[in-house]
Structure 1
Amino acid sequence: MKKLIAGVVLGVGLTAMAHGAGDPKAGEENAAVCAGCHGQGGAKPVMGVYPKLSGLGEKYLYNQLVAIKDGDRAIPEMTGLLDDMSDQDLQDLAAYYNDQDMVVSQADPDLVDQGSALYRGGNMASGVPACAGCHSPQGTGNEPAGYPALGGQNAEYLVEQLKAYRDGDRAAGSNAAIMMDVASKLTDAEIEAVSSYISGLN
Structure 2
Amino acid sequence: MLSTIVRTLVAAATFSVALAAQAQGVTGDVQAGHKKAEMCIGCHGIPGYQNSFPEIHKVPKISGQTDKYIVAALNAYKKGDRKHPTMRGIAGSLSEQDMADLGAYYASQADKTAPETPRTANTAAAALIEKGACASCHGANFSKPIDPSYPKIGGQHADYLFVALKSYTVEGNAMIGRSNGIMAGIAKQYTPAEMREIAKYLSTVEGELKVVPQSRFR
Specify the TM-score bucket, using the shorter chain as the normaliser.
0.7 to 0.9
2:38 is matched with which residue? 32
Count of aligned positions = 173
The 8 Å contact of residues 20 and 95 in structure 1, kept in 2 or not, is answered as: no
Q: How does 1:42-81 map to 2 (within 5 A)?
A: 44-47=47-50, 48-81=57-90
Q: Distance in 2 between matches of 1:77 and 1:57?
A: 22
Q: Which runs of 5+ in 2 are unaligned?
A: 1-16, 51-56, 113-120, 207-218
Is contact 2:139-2:146 (8 Å) kept? Answer: no
| Residue number among 168, 184, 189 corresponding to 2:188 in the alignment | 184
Please give the secondary structure, in 2, of the residue aligned with 1:69: helix
- Is the contact between residue 112 and residue 193 of structure 1 (CA under 8 Å) also seen in structure 2? no
Alpha-carbon contact 1:112-1:196 (below 8 Å) kept: no
Listed one character per residue, the Cα deviations across residues 143-181 of structure 1 (whole Å, up to 9, x for unaligned) are 636221101111101111111102235333xxx110000
Q: Corresponding residue for 2:167? A: 164
The 1:195–1:12 alpha-carbon spacing in structure 2 relative to 1, beyond 3 Å, is closer
Q: CA contact under 8 A between 1:62 and 1:91: conserved in structure 2?
A: yes
Equivalent of residue 126 in structure 2, options 104, 108, 116: 116
- Equivalent residue, structure 1, for 2:115: none
Residue identity matched to 2:59: Y
Contact 1:49 1:154 in 2 (8 A): yes
When residues 69 and 13 of structure 1 are mapped into structure 2, their CA distance, relative to the original with a 3 A threshold, is: closer
92 and 190 in structure 1: CA distance in 2 versus 1, 3 angstrom threshold: same
CA distance in 2, matches of 1:20, 1:86: 10
Q: Is the 8 A contact 1:45 1:52 kept in 2?
A: no
CA RMSD of superposed structures (Å): 3.0
Larger RCO, structure (CA 8 Å, separation 6 or more): 2
> Equivalences for 1:88-103 in 2 at 5 Å?
88-101=97-110
1:6: which partner in 2?
none
Q: What is the TM-score normalised by the length of structure 1?
A: 0.72
Aligned to 2:153: 150
Q: CA deviation at 1:31?
A: 0.8
List gaps (5 residues or longer) in structure 1. Answer: 1-10, 104-110, 123-128
Tell me how far 1:46 sits from its aligned partner: 0.6
Take 1:90 and 1:195, find their aligned partners in 2: how far apart are those partners? 27
Q: Give the distance between the partners of 1:38 and 1:147, measured in 2 at CA.
A: 19
The TM-score normalised by the length of structure 2 is: 0.68
Other-structure match for 2:117:
none
Decide whether the 8 Å contact of 1:24 with 1:93 is kept in 2.
Answer: yes
Q: Give the secondary structure class of the aligned counterpart of 2:168.
A: helix
> What percent identity do the matched residue pairs reach?
35
- The DSSP-based 3-state class of the residue aligned with 2:202 is helix
Aligned partner of 1:130 among 125, 128, 133: 133
The question of whether the paired residues in 2 share the 8 Å contact of 1:60 and 1:143 is answered with no
Q: SS of the counterpart of 1:63?
A: helix
Aligned to 1:126: none
